[in-house]
Structure 1
Amino acid sequence: MVAVEVVETSSLGDRSYLVTDGAVAAVIDPQRDVDRVFAAAGRRDVRITHVVETHIHNDYLSGGLELCRLTGAEYGVAAADEVSFARRPLVEGDVLEVSPQLRLRVLATPGHTFHHLSYVLEGDDGAVGVFTGGSLLFGATGRTDLLGQQHSEELARHQHASVHKLAEVLPDGAEIWPTHGFGSFCSASAVTGSSGTVGQQKKVNAAFRLSEDEFVEHTLGALDPFPTYYARMGARNTTGPQPVDLREPARVQPAELARRLRGADWVVDLRSRRAFSRAHLAGAISLGLDGPLATWLGWLTDWGTPLTLLGETPEQVAAAQRELVRIGIDRLTAAVGQPHELAMDASLVRSMPSATFADLAEAGPGTVVLDVRMRGEWRARHLKDAVHVPLFELRDRGHEIGDGVVWVHCSAGYRAAAAASLLAREGREVVFVDEEFDAAQQAGLPLVSDR
């Protein structure tokens, strides 16, 4: 019996897949840390014989090439994609005979990229499901501007045609297994649900109820900026990323750590924002493991900036290291312990006040309210008289924030804590709001919309 196992990378909003007949397996869109794929194959006692990519990824480094090196599996990549390694060039109509019971039929589904492919899983009774990559997602589609704004409209038109093509050639009961759309910036709009079929998507996905022109307008109008590190991922994936090195990073001694905190290095506190609020090292940035660490760290830092991770345990540092190698951040150092253990002296240990929206409603004069959410979130609804500087722009636009105590909020607290720590590093007095944005209305704060 054919089975599909999901290999989740929730921090980047992506999924990879292992599909098997019980003896052999194919892998679709693997992440760079391939040991997770080996673990999935090992649990099922199957041999990996095929690895395929739906497209050249822009949000993470692929583990496909390394997985094939280690297993001898055949590597399938779109024939039209120019890569510098040996692969099986795939075009529409090709069939990958993984086993007599397991076949993958190639469909061309351009839109997310020009050469995007989907893979129809076929059993004895026809199509069982389809691996859609960045094409048809749950309640959405993949964004169409990753190759440049000059291509976004053309690719949006391709995307509309591709999702309709999938609906035409597949039965309503066919399962959909997308790579993107679980928080990834590769999604053009918000995703709904975690599973679905072609028939179900026909009822709920805007791509099926909108005309081509309406879909293009809808898709391009919903796009927020995407992380700047995406520009590096595609090129690395066409040349083939180097194998992952997950050995423990070098430890930093307290004197060196103090120097890095005072300098231009990035020292990242991996603990929860609440632990950070209680006590942290002055100059550290709050990007906890309980949120999209890799996305925001990759977006906010200058590429190549020396990076030090602060964790409570070696396991916490190892988890962060794994997150970061997925986007190509390989060289880092670490320090392990609580702030008071890592500080050269007690004056380096600080606290940062957190608050609720009800607290903000009671704040006195001289308060500056800073909203660090994305532009789409701001347009939908925001606090009256708030200053809007998305987190990814804060380092360049911090000077625009007026004098006074800065109360920072986002949608739930993670980005607010990161922003507050960046501002505190620059000497600003800050409070971060650690609460869901919906609580603002309950607190009686005035809300307005730009729509």
Structure 2
Amino acid sequence: MFFVDTLETEGLGNRSYLAGGAGGAVVIDPPRDIDRVIAAAARRGVRIGYVAETHVHNDYLSGGPELARITGARHLVPAAAEVSFARTPVADGDTVTVDEGLVLRAIATPGHTPHHTSYVLEDGGRAAAAFTGGSLLIGTVGRPDLVEPRLTERLARAQYASAHRLADELDDEVPVLPTHGFGSFCSSSQAEGDATTIGKERASNDALTLDADTFVERVLAGLDDIPAYYAHMGPANAAGPAPVDLTPPEPADAEQIARRLAAGEWVVDLRNRVAIAERHVAGSFNFEGEGQLATYLAWLMPWGKPVTLLADTPERIADAQRELVRVGIDRPVAAATGDPDGWLREGEEPASFPRATFADLARARADGERIVVLDVRRDSERAAGHVEGSVHLPVHQLHGRLGEVPEGTVWVHCAGGMRAAIAASLLDAAGRDVVAVDDGFEAAVEAGLTVTAP
């Protein structure tokens, strides 16, 4: 009997897998915090004999080199991938024996990257699971534009061919186990569900139901913004990420927090947006610890900028550290826990800003208040409908374009409230009067505020 255990990294929208039998196992696309993988193997009582990468990742740092070093496993990496660490190159059709009766077979599936490789676990000669990385995802495919803009259309066509190859070679009942696609920006679109099979994808995935030209046109039209930190992930993964250090950061007192703010460093408050709106350290930025902390902090913060973390508990700091090392923010320079009373120097007052709903916004407009409505959603979201008369600056561009926000009280919104809170904290730190709209965008429609784009 074989097993497949899923290790979810929800904040980044990715999954890794531990698969094997009674004695041996393989890890597919491991996260950088490899202690989770080692613990999963210990629970199974298996030895990790292989670590397999489907591709050189653009969205997170791999734990593959370190996991292979610690466990003595062979590190399988596509032969065409240019890396500078020791590895076992794998080409199309190569196989390794994971455990008695269990064989892992490599299938070249270029598209997400030129060298992308999927792996099929065969039990007694029959395909039992397909680890598809960034190739065939649930209802979609991995985006083809992360490597080189001039290769995008060529890679989109390769994605189409790779999806068809998997569908042609594997039976309908074979589970499809992708790395990306659960909120990851490596996915070319978002699809519902968290489990699928070759048969389900054959019936519903655009890559398998449309002709090649229509599929490519649709994929290229649907490509969204690329998080800025992606530019740093590929080179770091090709070099081989260093081991992580998750020991607690240096404690920060009120004086140190003030000095770091004065020096232009980033002080990030991880508490929830309701607490931050009520009371926070002036100049600090709100990135909630729950949600997509790593994605948005790494996207907005200038790369390599020193960061100090504030949170209500040490556990929240530790969780944030774990998330951030996955995208290369390795060591916060300092951290403090508690609440603003302990983070402010004597005589300083906490800052605050109001929260509101879309109904409140509609009433303010009806009353004739002079306000600025700032939409911080992505271009693709705004294209589906927007608040009439609103200014549009995606949240990941706002920090560098604060001067473009018109004068007046700024009512800032997104689709649900999290990004609006980030934006409100950026504006508040810049000295602007701001109201954070903490509401779902469907409420804007109900309030009669929206215009549907053509």
Report the CA distance between 1:354 and its aligned residue.
Answer: 0.9
Match of 1:406 among 407, 410, 417: 410
Do the aligned partners of 1:143 and 1:187 also contact (CA within 8 Å) in 2? Answer: yes
Matched, 1:371 2:375: yes
The alignment-based identity, stated in percent, is 53
Do the aligned partners of 1:12 and 1:295 also contact (CA within 8 Å) in 2? Answer: yes
Residue equivalent to 1:445: 449
Counterpart of 1:440 in structure 2: which amino acid? A
Report the CA distance between 1:330 and its aligned residue.
Answer: 1.1
Report the CA distance between 1:271 and its aligned residue.
Answer: 0.8
Residue equivalent to 1:309: 309
Residue equivalent to 1:18: 18
Q: Is the partner of 2:400 in helix, strand or coil?
A: helix
Q: Is the partner of 1:38 in helix, strand or coil?
A: helix
Q: What pairs up with 1:296-335 in 2 under 5 angstroms? A: 296-332=296-332, 333-335=334-336
Counterpart of 1:368 in structure 2: which amino acid? V
Work out the CA distance in 2 between the residues paired with 1:239 and 1:400.
39
Q: Is the partner of 1:70 in helix, strand or coil?
A: helix
Q: Is the partner of 1:250 in helix, strand or coil?
A: coil
Work out the CA distance in 2 between the residues paired with 1:57 and 1:5.
21
Work out the CA distance in 2 between the residues paired with 1:306 and 1:55.
30
Work out the CA distance in 1 between the residues paired with 2:346 and 2:448.
43
Do the aligned partners of 2:321 and 2:331 also contact (CA within 8 Å) in 1? Answer: no
Work out the CA distance in 1 between the residues paired with 2:143 and 2:340.
41
Do the aligned partners of 2:308 and 2:335 also contact (CA within 8 Å) in 1? Answer: yes
Count of aligned residue pairs for this structure pair: 450
Q: Is the partner of 1:167 in helix, strand or coil?
A: helix
Counterpart of 2:434 in structure 1: which amino acid? V
Residue equivalent to 2:350: 349
Do the aligned partners of 2:22 and 2:99 also contact (CA within 8 Å) in 1? Answer: no
Counterpart of 1:344 in structure 2: which amino acid? R
Work out the CA distance in 2 between the residues paired with 1:343 and 1:243.
35
Q: CA RMSD in A?
A: 1.1
Work out the CA distance in 1 between the residues paired with 2:277 and 2:429.
14
Q: Is the partner of 2:43 in helix, strand or coil?
A: helix
Report the CA distance between 1:345 and its aligned residue.
Answer: 3.2
Greater mean alpha carbon deviation, residues 426-435 or residues 105-114? 426-435
Greater mean alpha carbon deviation, residues 222-231 or residues 259-268? 259-268
Counterpart of 1:347 in structure 2: which amino acid? E
Greater mean alpha carbon deviation, residues 101-110 or residues 202-211? 202-211
Residue equivalent to 1:423: 427
Q: What pairs up with 1:15-164 in 2 under 5 angstroms? A: 15-124=15-124, 126-164=126-164
Report the CA distance between 1:198 and its aligned residue.
Answer: 0.6
Work out the CA distance in 1 between the residues paired with 2:125 and 2:56.
31
Counterpart of 1:113 in structure 2: which amino acid? T
Counterpart of 1:404 in structure 2: which amino acid? G
Q: Is the partner of 1:362 in helix, strand or coil?
A: helix
Matched, 1:395 2:396: no
Work out the CA distance in 2 between the residues paired with 1:447 and 1:263.
43
Work out the CA distance in 2 between the residues paired with 1:386 and 1:140.
32
Work out the CA distance in 2 between the residues paired with 1:24 and 1:172.
27
Counterpart of 1:306 in structure 2: which amino acid? P
Report the CA distance between 1:346 and its aligned residue.
Answer: 5.0
Counterpart of 2:208 in structure 1: which amino acid? F
Report the CA distance between 1:46 and its aligned residue.
Answer: 1.1
Match of 2:438 among 430, 434, 441: 434
Residue equivalent to 1:234: 234
Do the aligned partners of 1:340 and 1:346 also contact (CA within 8 Å) in 2? Answer: no
Q: What pairs up with 1:273-292 in 2 under 5 angstroms? A: 273-292=273-292
Report the CA distance between 1:55 and its aligned residue.
Answer: 0.2
* TM-score of the superposed pair, with normalisation by structure 2: 0.97
Report the CA distance between 1:263 and its aligned residue.
Answer: 3.5
Work out the CA distance in 1 between the residues paired with 2:383 and 2:69.
47
Counterpart of 1:335 in structure 2: which amino acid? A
Work out the CA distance in 2 between the residues paired with 1:242 and 1:38.
17
Match of 1:386 among 362, 369, 390: 390
Do the aligned partners of 2:21 and 2:100 also contact (CA within 8 Å) in 1? Answer: no
Work out the CA distance in 2 between the residues paired with 1:312 and 1:346.
22
Do the aligned partners of 1:79 and 1:90 also contact (CA within 8 Å) in 2? Answer: yes
Q: Is the partner of 1:154 in helix, strand or coil?
A: helix
Report the CA distance between 1:81 and its aligned residue.
Answer: 1.0
Unaligned runs of 5+ in 1: none
Q: Is the partner of 2:411 in helix, strand or coil?
A: strand
Residue equivalent to 1:340: 341
Work out the CA distance in 1 between the residues paired with 2:342 and 2:399.
29
* TM-score of the superposed pair, with normalisation by structure 1: 0.98
Work out the CA distance in 1 between the residues paired with 2:452 and 2:155.
34
Do the aligned partners of 1:384 and 1:448 also contact (CA within 8 Å) in 2? Answer: no
Per-residue CA deviations over 1:142-168 (Å, capped at 9, x if unaligned) read 000101211111100100100011100
